Amino acid sequence: MIDLPGAGFRSLGQPAARRMALRADRQRGGRAILVHGPSGAGKGEFVDDLLALAFCTEPDASGRPCNACRGCRDGRARTHPDLVIGSPQAWREQRGTGESIVAAARRWLLDASGAPVVADRRVVLIESADQAGEAVQNALLKTLEEPTDRHLFILVADEPARLLPTIRSRSQALRIGPVAHAELARHLVEARGLPRDQADTLARLASGLPGLALGYADRTDLLEWRRRTQTRLMDLLGRGPADRLEAVRDLLDEAGPLAAGQPAASEEEPEARTPAAVQRAAAILVVEAWLALARDLAVAGAGRADLAPGTELTPDLGSLGARIGPERLAGMIRLLERIVDGLRDNAASPRLALERAMLSWPRTGS
Ligand SMILES: [Zn+2]
């Protein structure tokens, strides 16, 4: 396991962003930080750490955030008197009668640039900064251009490309990305009390994004579906082509509602979820569950059941995996990987892709 800098941080992973934040803290100058990364990556938790760091009164910089002082506590609770929080949505709601959102944002920015009362500087946190229109961003840019060492601006954005280049160039960008699989799985065990195999599966399923993984953890229907699908696939090992082709339709039908209700990979175009897109997402879910099963069978069949997350659900994975044999499983894993890539690239028909996989799924005989 890699050694993470910043012992007082409570968010997961992010060694590079932590290092940059700690360095910026040691300089304690007025500056702007841009925290960006995909939805579900844990930007909110990282900002909590930044707020604790900014308000921490521990004199020794290497011990910050100490998580014991008043500054840390109030920073994390977002109740510190020197913290002001705004967002395009809040400015829209705060508009006076007949006032434009730009005017409301300017008024807010003017208030926000007042002097700190308790700490040595004020922290101005702007959530969803990338959702601000150009005029509001220009007002923000003006504020960022005024020299100050008594203000720290923290901008949060899913998509930094939607910010003015001049805002980006005035900010230090901290990217919040996927967390190492083992660390995320451990967190799911601790935070949700999940069994290790499920935590493992979820971490993999969420591609390392903690928010997404926790969302899955709260959706037990997805886990139950996965177990059902994998059981069905194991049963199909003993069946012929007719049963297999018939199963393709069932598998797609069952995964459809889950795929439709899944948090979209991109929030950008929710309208892109057409029936065809849902069917594609359903096929990807099926193939991912299948791939996980094939990998577990291969690992368990080779005598390493301890490394196969699915073993806790199906104790005889080992004997089944051994019966199919490592070569056939390796071939199947390669095929499923190609199929899932093709589905993601929109290059394959979901139905045909699953039929192809089904006919290549080894036959164990009865
Ligand atoms: Zn502290």
Going from the Cα of 291 to the center of ligand 1, the distance in angstroms, rounded, reads 46
pLDDT at 303: 87
Domain spanning 15-175: which superfamily?
P-loop containing nucleotide triphosphate hydrolases (3.40.50.300)
Going from the Cα of 62 to the center of ligand 1, the distance in angstroms, rounded, reads 11
pLDDT at 266: 42
Angstrom distance (rounded) from CA 157 to CA 39: 9
| Amino acid found at 70 | R
Angstrom distance (rounded) from CA 93 to CA 361: 56
* Residue carrying the six token digits 């909590």: 48
Angstrom distance (rounded) from CA 298 to CA 292: 10
Going from the Cα of 321 to the center of ligand 1, the distance in angstroms, rounded, reads 53
Going from the Cα of 59 to the center of ligand 1, the distance in angstroms, rounded, reads 9
Q: How would you write the pLDDT of the chain (366 residues) with one tens digit per residue?
A: 457 888 999 999 999 999 999 999 888 765 899 999 988 899 999 999 999 999 999 999 999 999 999 999 999 999 999 999 999 999 999 998 899 999 999 999 999 989 999 998 999 999 999 999 999 999 999 999 987 889 999 999 998 999 999 999 999 999 999 999 899 999 999 988 888 888 887 887 777 889 888 887 887 787 788 889 999 999 999 999 999 999 999 999 999 988 876 654 444 444 457 888 889 989 998 998 899 899 989 999 998 877 776 665 677 889 999 999 999 999 999 999 999 989 988 888 999 999 999 999 999 865
Q: Which two tokens stand for residue 109?
A: 């920015």
Query: Could you tell me if 133 and 103 are in contact, meaning their C-beta atoms sit under 8 angstroms apart?
Result: no
Does this model's pTM top 0.85? My answer is no
Going from the Cα of 70 to the center of ligand 1, the distance in angstroms, rounded, reads 7
pLDDT at 28: 74
Going from the Cα of 65 to the center of ligand 1, the distance in angstroms, rounded, reads 5
Going from the Cα of 53 to the center of ligand 1, the distance in angstroms, rounded, reads 7
pLDDT at 269: 45
Instruction: Collect all residues with Cβ–Cβ distance below 8 Å to 335 and sequence separation of at least 6.
Output: 356, 357, 360
pLDDT at 262: 61
Instruction: Collect all residues with Cβ–Cβ distance below 8 Å to 285 and sequence separation of at least 6.
Output: 255, 258, 259, 262
Going from the Cα of 287 to the center of ligand 1, the distance in angstroms, rounded, reads 47
Angstrom distance (rounded) from CA 31 to CA 84: 15
Per-domain residue ranges for the chain? Answer: 15-175, 219-360
Tell me which residue of 27, 35, 38 sits closest to 51, measured CA to CA: 35
Going from the Cα of 173 to the center of ligand 1, the distance in angstroms, rounded, reads 24
pLDDT at 312: 57
